[in-house]
């Protein structure tokens, strides 16, 4: 029996006591989106920092935000790390990342290759009961920032199917799809004030366009 769900359902217990999957998904999306736009904590590139990102995103929804799952998990044919080995595997992975100097000083191609392996192996552990993918994406952005690269999360959001395919392939230690995806959304981090301002304006325009599309969808009664 899964202690994370309401008895007789597949709905995760939540602070709003929502009992339907559709309601929970909607609220979860809205709140995590607000948390992301409000600004993310500048976490350390270690397991504590990874957990802090999850806690930041989901603290308003789940009492266990930032905590390791205590049950074993499987999605389709993907069987994730046994719960009793989560801490060991995550700390080992972050030790490897630290020994690689958090991927600093690498070319864009080498950064994508190494980041693909790290994020795929983190996904294989799947430390949380829910919210692993979103935490991984934000961690990638943080990792890129420290290594001197901008990972475009807007582009990543438009490539969700590729992200899913790459994550599944990574379970079999095939990191090539994740590497190609990261190459598509990674570019050198712009440091000059003028270029930073241009990028901020571009991001604001994209966000405005997205909000406009979402509003149009909300008012489309045929959907």
146 — pLDDT class (breaks 50, 70, 90) = very high
CB atoms closer than 10 angstroms to residue 149: 23
The model carries a pTM of 0.84
Residue 221 lies in a domain: no
- Mean pLDDT score of the chain: 91
Question: Phi and psi dihedrals of 151, rounded to 5?
Answer: -100, 115
Domain harbouring 147, CATH code: 1.10.3290.10
Q: CB–CB of 186/112 below 8 Å?
A: yes
Residue 47 lies in a domain: no
Q: What is the DSSP string of 62-100?
A: -TTTTS--SS--EETTEEPPPGGGHHHHHHHHHHHHHHT
Question: What pairing do the DSSP bridges indicate for beta strands 74-75 and 78-79?
Answer: antiparallel
Residue 3 lies in a domain: no
60-91 confidence digits (pLDDT tens): 999 999 999 999 999 999 999 999 999 999 99
How many domains does the chain contain in total? 1
Residue 82 lies in a domain: yes
Residue 199 lies in a domain: no
Domain holding 124, by residue range, is 70-189
Whole-number pLDDT of residue 39 = 85
């Amino acid at each position: 029996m899964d202690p994370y769900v309401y008895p007789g359902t597949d709905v995760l217990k939540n602070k709003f006591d929502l009992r339907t999957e559709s309601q929970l998904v909607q609220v979860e999306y809205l709140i995590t989106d607000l948390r992301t736009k409000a600004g993310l904590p500048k976490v350390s590139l270690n397991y504590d920092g990874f957990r802090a990102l999850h806690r930041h995103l989901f603290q308003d929804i789940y009492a266990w935000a930032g905590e390791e799952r205590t049950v074993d998990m499987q999605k389709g044919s993907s069987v994730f790390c046994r719960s009793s080995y989560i801490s060991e595997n995550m700390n080992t992975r972050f030790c490897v990342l630290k020994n690689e100097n958090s991927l600093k000083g690498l070319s864009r191609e080498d950064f994508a290759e190494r980041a693909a392996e790290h994020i795929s192996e983190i996904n294989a552990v799947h430390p949380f009961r829910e919210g692993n993918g979103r935490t991984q994406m934000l961690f990638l952005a943080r990792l890129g920032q420290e290594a001197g690269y901008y990972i475009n999360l807007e582009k990543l959001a438009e490539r969700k199917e590729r992200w899913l395919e790459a994550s599944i392939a990574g379970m079999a230690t095939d990191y090539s799809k994740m590497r190609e995806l990261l190459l598509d959304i990674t570019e050198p981090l712009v440091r000059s004030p003028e270029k930073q301002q241009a990028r901020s304006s571009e991001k604001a325009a994209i966000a405005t366009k997205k909000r406009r599309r979402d509003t149009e969808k909300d008012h489309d009664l045929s959907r």
